[in-house]
Chain A
Amino acid sequence: EIVLTQSPGTLSLSPGERATLSCRASQSVSGSYLAWYQQKPGQAPRLLIYGASSRATGIPDRFSGSGSGTDFTLTISRLEPEDFAVYYCQQYGSSLYTFGQGTKLEIK
Chain B
Amino acid sequence: EVQLVESGGGLVQPGGSLRLSCAASGFTFSSYWMHWVRQAPGKGLVWVSRINSDGSNTIYADSVKGRFTISRDNAKNTLYLQMNSLRADDAAVYYCARDRQYVFDIWGQGTMVTVSS
List the interface of chain A (C-beta within 8 A of B).
Answer: 32-33, 35, 37, 39, 43-47, 50-51, 56, 88, 90, 92, 95-102
With A44-B109, A97-B35: A50-B45 Cβ-Cβ less than 8 Å: no
With A33-B103, A97-B35: A88-B109 Cβ-Cβ less than 8 Å: no
Partner of B45, one of A43, A45, A51, A95: A45
Partner of B110, one of A44, A95, A97, A100: A44
With A44-B108, A97-B50: A35-B103 Cβ-Cβ less than 8 Å: yes
Q: List 9 A-B contacts (CB under 8 A).
A: A37-B104, A43-B109, A44-B108, A44-B110, A50-B100, A50-B101, A56-B105, A88-B44, A92-B103
Partner of A97, one of B44, B47, B108: B47
List the interface of chain B (C-beta within 8 A of A).
Answer: 35, 44-47, 50, 59, 61, 95, 100-110
**A56→B108 CA distance, assembly (Å):** 17
Closest A residue to B100 by CB, please name it: A50
**A71→B27 CA distance, assembly (Å):** 34
CB distance from B47 to the nearest CB of A (A): 4
Closest A residue to B104 by CB, please name it: A47
With A97-B50, A99-B45: A92-B102 Cβ-Cβ less than 8 Å: yes
Partner of B107, one of A32, A46, A51, A92: A46
- Contacts of A50 on B, CB cut-off 8 Å? 100-101, 103, 105
- Contact across chains for A45 and B107 when beta carbons are under 8 A apart: yes
**A39→B37 CA distance, assembly (Å):** 14
- Contacts of B108 on A, CB cut-off 8 Å? 44
Q: A98-B47, A99-B47, A100-B44 are in contact. List 6 more A-B contacts (CB 8 A).
A: A37-B104, A47-B103, A50-B103, A51-B101, A56-B105, A99-B45
- Contacts of A32 on B, CB cut-off 8 Å? 101-102
A-B pairs, top 7 by smallest CB distance, nearest first, are A92-B102, A35-B103, A97-B47, A44-B107, A99-B45, A50-B103, A33-B102
